[in-house]
Structure 1
């Protein structure tokens, strides 16, 4: 997608989505990361829109990412979920990765819940933990707001203080406690991928204050904050980061762990939605 066509393509995408959704307008955008897509199957009265049918949307090529929007009711809220996401390592630009977030905002979503599977840099974390993101380190080397078109949608320069909404983080903590689901809180670091990080990189990231690491989220969050959305980020710790306790991450491990934590993930997200 050419940068100079961003706003026009968003107009076209919005028109297509509004035609598909009818009178439905989402309150919450939900991005379901690696292995976490089954939550979309719990959405009531679903309307499915494949990414490929929406102007400007890329097609998801990541393993087990279905690649479609699912609109409907979840946790008492009108939700527009992405069952799968787009990644920079698939060849998409930062603007293309951020495109569905801008589209969600245009359709009415004022809150974004973004989720992913991540590796644990913090050695006190355990595989299977959930981690509420408190802040992020964008190590992708990209930013979706570069250029003239994104800057025309909202002020070019904007604060990333409290990028992950403090009230939503507190709500997620309280929900997890009420459901007896242990959670961690920490700083997330995003890489471009697709290679997993090296042990030397992990040592460096730890010295910077990073607790978890993966290949998504940062560009989505920047785009969401640019247009004023509130953001909650939750990772599933699917593996220890490379070199931590001798770990050597694999894609299969990520999805196997996600399957074992599916039920608690669904309970946590639905519980948060009920209280937003």
Structure 2
């Protein structure tokens, strides 16, 4: 595993012109953010040693290096999911590579289903904590001592200063945002009304099929993380509303201007956070 991480990092390092300041992972339907950056280079995942192929609509499958708000950005346009058949070490492989490249800051975005009754499709939730309901932990197995400890602390999975920074940007730009807990499930099925009710009773505000494994690995290796969820549908035990991937992508597109403005302001003032 460590050799594979080194080989992937060495290849990317040979292609990009500068050390990235931060990495960004784009979730379903949030690819519009890449249109905001001054792109220096695009690398197809298939060209990077040991990288996987993204198989989901809305995930283009390329690594983008460029500039945005004075920062050097390494952006994953398309992520890997456990439900695609990959194991957790494969799903989180890019996060290991980011760390090997010397990146210690990460922004993660996703599309999620809302269970908080205050939510509506197109709302934006800043993640302050998560609940891991995946059937496998990405740290299971031999610990990679080069990256972090056997038993990493998870008392602050999402950096509080980053969270406060995002909230400050939202207030300054009049962007309505919520703050809440994200619960990660395996997928690929959308949740039943009863499952939405379970998620709500467990204390989460939104549910999705990504993010949690990536954040666990990021925290294992000491990275600071900020995460943004776009609420694409709202469910519950009394709400039997059909959900499709197309509707998820459409709702993400509606929220895109808010996400772009949030990330733009955050990056502009990143050094203050």
TM-score range, shorter chain: over 0.9
Q: Does 1:10 align with 2:2?
A: no
Corresponding residue of 1:65: 59
Task: Output the TM-score relative to the length of structure 2.
Answer: 0.95
Matches within 5 A, 1:71-82: 71-82=65-76
Q: Is the 8 A contact 1:213 1:241 kept in 2?
A: no
Q: CA deviation at 1:244?
A: 5.6
1:249-268 Cα deviation digits (max 9, x unpaired): 21011111112222221111
Give the Cα–Cα distance (whole angstroms) in 1 for the partners of residues 25 and 49 of structure 2.
19
Give the Cα–Cα distance (whole angstroms) in 1 for the partners of residues 238 and 97 of structure 2.
38
> Matched residue of 1:115: which SS?
strand
Task: Output the TM-score relative to the length of structure 1.
Answer: 0.94
Consecutive unaligned residues in structure 2, runs of 5 or more: none
Q: CA deviation at 1:152?
A: 4.8
Give the Cα–Cα distance (whole angstroms) in 1 for the partners of residues 236 and 8 of structure 2.
39
Corresponding residue of 1:3: none
Matches within 5 A, 1:178-257: 178-241=172-235, 243=237, 245-257=239-251
Give the Cα–Cα distance (whole angstroms) in 1 for the partners of residues 92 and 238 of structure 2.
31
Corresponding residue of 2:31: 37
Q: Is the 8 A contact 2:80 2:91 kept in 1?
A: yes
Q: Does 1:141 align with 2:135?
A: yes
Consecutive unaligned residues in structure 1, runs of 5 or more: 1-5
Q: Is the 8 A contact 1:196 1:242 kept in 2?
A: no
Runs of 4+ in 1 over 4 A off after TM superposition: none
1:27-82 Cα deviation digits (max 9, x unpaired): 11100000001111221142101111111211000012100110111122111000
1:127-176 Cα deviation digits (max 9, x unpaired): 11100001001111111111115355321111101100111001001101
Q: Does 1:268 align with 2:227?
A: no
Corresponding residue of 1:259: 253
Q: Is the 8 A contact 1:28 1:80 kept in 2?
A: yes
Corresponding residue of 1:150: 144
